[in-house]
Amino acid sequence: MGNNLEKKLVTVLLLVVIFVGSIWSDAYKYVDEIMFSVFGDVKTEWNIWSAKYNTENMEEQMDDTALRAKDTAGNDIPEYSAMASGYLSNLPFKQRMVDINGTMAKALNMREVYKNNGGIVLNNGYVAGIYGYTSTDYEIQQITELKTYLDERGIQLLYVNEPTKYIDDRVIAKDLGVNTYINDNTDRFLSRLEENEIHYLDLRAHIVEENLDSFNMFYKTDHHWTTQMGKLAAEAIAEELNYSYGYNIDLSLYDSDRFTYQEYEDAWLGEQGKKLGKSFVGLDDFTFIAPDYDTSFNVSYGGNVITGAFEQVLVNQTTYLPENNENIYTAPSWHYSYMGISGTNGTTVGNLNNTEGKRILILGDSYEQITIPFLALGVSQVQCLILRGYEGSLREYIDTHEIDTVVIAYASFMIGAHDNEASANYAMFDFQ
């Protein structure tokens, strides 16, 4: 009862602030358009439903854009998301509003208020996600078919499970009394991989073996892992490739004393933190890590090729400049500073100091911003595809490139994403 009252008080105060800000900034001019766009979205959904279930239209392959609701002049009614964006862009002090809200939420201990948009805030200060129970059938079907396809071509396959901030679901239940199933989903999926004789590396086990705190391997305000964890992950993958796949990677390349470290304290606000507010969750530290030995790489991306040392071509260090961080809410993500020049999707990193070694294709996610640069230290070539943003055929790509091993490296929350067509990760297990 008390928690509901607190939420209502926060809501009322924010509505007052938004109302005053709307009048002051002329953002109120968008209100009519927003209401009209809502009507347009509803009418469009009705048009799509009617076209789908009307027997006269079943043969017509009309796309959703053709069914968009029209105004009296015959023009498409803009989508609500576009109009709302225009409204919000005209609001003054909207970032201060986020912080005002964060301050109140923190004072009232409303740690679950953003669980569907950003995450919950744990007692240790970390923002964490809550994940429902998912199926694994589609993922298993796709990966077993891919394994058969690769076997026919003499290409090896390794699946790497990338953990989330907590590696035991009971942590969340104990902290907030909320059920989450991310590790349960992962356990069931990996068990089925084993049943299908698909080899995997579970980095959760690596964290346990090294007696590490999984939370320390991640940022408080961002869902990505730290540079330290990305380096450890690359080393663990290299070890597995040596032990189980016949590689001969020089593991001394990953010795901690062969790297330089530059610490930035309270440096940046992660993606989750930008939703909850700095006042609620604070800022994250960042460690820039680079080899303290000679390196040379060719990086090919989008028809471009750049050549240079690790810190020149695999990291965009302009991200850390003060002038690029004056506004923490609009500043670039420091996580994406690694591979920040080229990006990862469709990018190939060639190690010019190791031209006779193995070539790896990583099917990855945004964690690979960190993994790829460090893994590239030990092999000849690392190629990367992010399937949610790749428009071509994976199998055509494989057939037209020289690849020794395919490494599927996915965060645990990718499992089950195919259950939801609206998920940004819906296509991550589409291995056709």
91 and 184 in a single domain? The answer is: no
Give which of 282, 223, 232 is closest to 254, Cα–Cα: 232
> Do 124 and 143 reside in the same domain of the chain?
no
DSSP-derived pairing of the beta strands 200-202 and 259-268: unpaired
Q: Is 345 a domain residue?
A: yes
Q: Are residues 354 and 390 in the same domain?
A: yes
> Do 73 and 200 have their domain in common?
no
Q: Is the same domain home to 117 and 162?
A: no
Are residues 165 and 216 both part of a single domain?
Answer: yes
Q: Which domain holds residue 97?
A: 2-128
- Supply φ then ψ for residue 159, to 5 degrees: -100, 130
The one-digit pLDDT tens for each residue of the chain (432 residues) are: 445 565 565 556 655 655 555 555 454 444 555 566 666 667 777 776 666 565 444 444 444 456 777 777 777 777 655 554 555 555 556 677 677 677 777 877 778 877 777 789 999 999 999 999 999 999 999 999 999 999 999 999 999 999 999 999 999 999 999 899 999 999 999 999 999 999 999 999 999 999 999 999 999 999 999 999 999 999 999 999 999 999 999 999 999 999 999 999 999 999 999 988 899 999 999 999 999 999 999 999 999 999 999 999 999 999 999 999 999 999 999 999 999 999 999 999 999 999 988 999 999 999 999 999 999 999 999 999 999 999 999 999 999 999 999 999 999 999 998 888 888 899 999 999
Q: Write down which residue in 106, 128, 150 finishes a domain.
A: 128
| Same domain flag for 158 and 108 | no
User: Are 283 and 266 contacting, i.e. CB atoms less than 8 angstroms apart?
Assistant: yes
The count of other CB atoms within 10 Å of the CB of residue 163 is 24
Give the count of domains, the chain. 2
Task: Compute the distance between CA of residue 207 and CA of residue 62 in angstroms, rounded to an integer.
Answer: 50
Which string of DSSP letters, residue by residue, matches 353-377? Answer: T-TTS-EEEEE--TTHHHHHHHHTT
Does some domain include residue 430? no
Distances (CA, A) of 398 to 342, 360, 362, 368, 430: 21, 11, 11, 19, 14
The answer to whether residue 212 is domain-embedded is yes
* Coil/strand/helix, residue 362: strand
- Kindly state whether residue 428 falls inside one of the protein's structural domains: no
Residue 65 CA to residue 358 CA, distance in Å, equals 46
Q: Report the candidate in 333, 345, 335, 241 with the shortest Cα–Cα distance to residue 302.
A: 345
Are both 234 and 343 inside the same structural domain?
yes
Q: Which residues pair with 363 in a beta bridge?
A: 385, 408
Judgement on whether residues 90 and 34 belong to the same structural domain of the protein: yes
Q: What angle do CA 189, 206, 388 make, to 5 degrees?
A: 45
End residue of a domain, out of 128, 151, 184: 128
Amino acid at 249: I
Check whether residue 270 and residue 291 sit in a common domain.
yes
Is the residue at 78 inside a domain? yes
Q: What's the pTM value of the predicted model, to 2 decimals? A: 0.81
